[in-house]
C-alpha cells in the first residue's frame, strides 16, 4: 500500500478517448486493466472527465472552415481544435465501463465552460481558474501524486506541469498512459521535458 500522503490521479479514461470513440487515443483501452490493478493500493484515488457543453470552443465544428486536429488562432493565440468529444451527458463522456470505480473517491468534471478548454486537472486553460482538485488533495494531506490516463501528451502532460508547479512529488505511470503523439515524437518530447522538470517516470 502507498503511504497516506500519496494519491493516484486517473485522467480522462472516457469512452470517446478509447477505440471506437470520437477522439480515440491509440490503445486507450489497454491501460484500464493496469489502472484497475493500481487503484486498490492507494489511500486516495481521483478520476477526471472532460465534460463539455455542445458547441464547446475546442470543437472544430464550432469554427467555420476549421478541421479537426488543425490549429486556429483565437484571441492572438494558437489552439488545436478537435472532433466533438465528451459532450456532457452523452455515452462518449462516460468513464469507460471497464474502469473499476470502487476505490475512486472523487470524479472531477472539467472543461465545462463553453468558451474555455481545460487540459489540466488542476487549472482551466487560462492557467488561473482552479478546478478544485488542488484544494481537495490538500484537505487530505496529499503530497505525492502518481498520474495515469489519457492522453499522455495532452491532459496528462498539462496536469503534470501544474502538479510540479504546485509542489507535488510527481510520478508519471507511463505503462498506464497512452498518447495521441501528433505530430510524431510529441509523447517522448513531453515526457523528456517532465523528467527534466523533476517528475519521476515509471
Positions annotated as catalytic residues are 12, 110, 155
Residue 110 and residue 132: Cα distance in Å, rounded? 10
In this structure, the dihedral spanned by the alpha carbons of residues 15, 16, 19 and 24, taken in order and rounded to 10 degrees, is -150
The grid cell for 155 is 491532459
| Closest listed residue to residue 70, CA positions, set 79, 62, 56 | 79
Is beta strand 144-150 parallel, antiparallel or unpaired with respect to 169-178?
A: parallel
Residue 159 and residue 146: Cα distance in Å, rounded? 11
Residue 150 and residue 172: Cα distance in Å, rounded? 12
Amino acid at each position: 500500500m502507498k503511504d497516506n500522503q500519496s494519491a493516484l490521479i486517473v485522467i480522462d479514461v472516457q469512452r470517446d478517448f478509447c477505440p471506437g470513440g470520437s477522439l480515440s487515443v491509440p490503445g486507450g483501452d489497454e491501460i484500464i486493466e493496469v489502472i484497475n490493478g493500481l487503484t486498490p493500493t492507494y489511500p486516495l484515488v481521483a478520476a477526471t472527465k472532460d465534460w463539455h457543453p455542445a458547441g464547446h470552443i475546442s470543437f472544430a465544428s464550432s469554427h467555420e472552415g476549421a478541421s479537426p486536429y488543425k490549429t486556429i488562432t483565437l484571441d492572438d493565440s494558437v489552439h488545436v481544435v478537435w472532433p466533438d468529444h465528451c459532450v456532457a451527458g452523452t455515452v462518449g463522456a462516460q468513464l469507460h465501463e471497464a474502469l473499476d470505480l470502487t476505490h475512486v473517491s472523487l470524479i472531477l468534471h472539467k472543461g465545462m465552460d463553453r468558451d474555455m478548454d481545460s487540459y489540466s486537472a488542476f487549472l482551466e486553460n487560462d492557467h488561473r481558474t482552479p478546478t478544485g482538485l488542488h484544494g481537495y488533495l490538500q484537505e487530505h494531506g496529499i503530497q505525492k501524486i502518481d498520474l495515469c490516463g489519457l492522453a499522455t501528451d495532452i491532459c496528462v502532460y498539462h496536469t503534470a506541469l501544474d502538479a510540479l508547479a504546485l509542489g507535488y512529488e510527481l510520478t508519471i505511470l507511463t505503462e498506464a498512459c497512452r498518447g495521441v503523439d501528433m505530430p510524431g515524437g510529441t509523447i517522448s518530447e513531453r515526457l523528456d521535458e517532465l523528467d527534466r522538470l523533476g517528475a519521476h517516470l515509471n
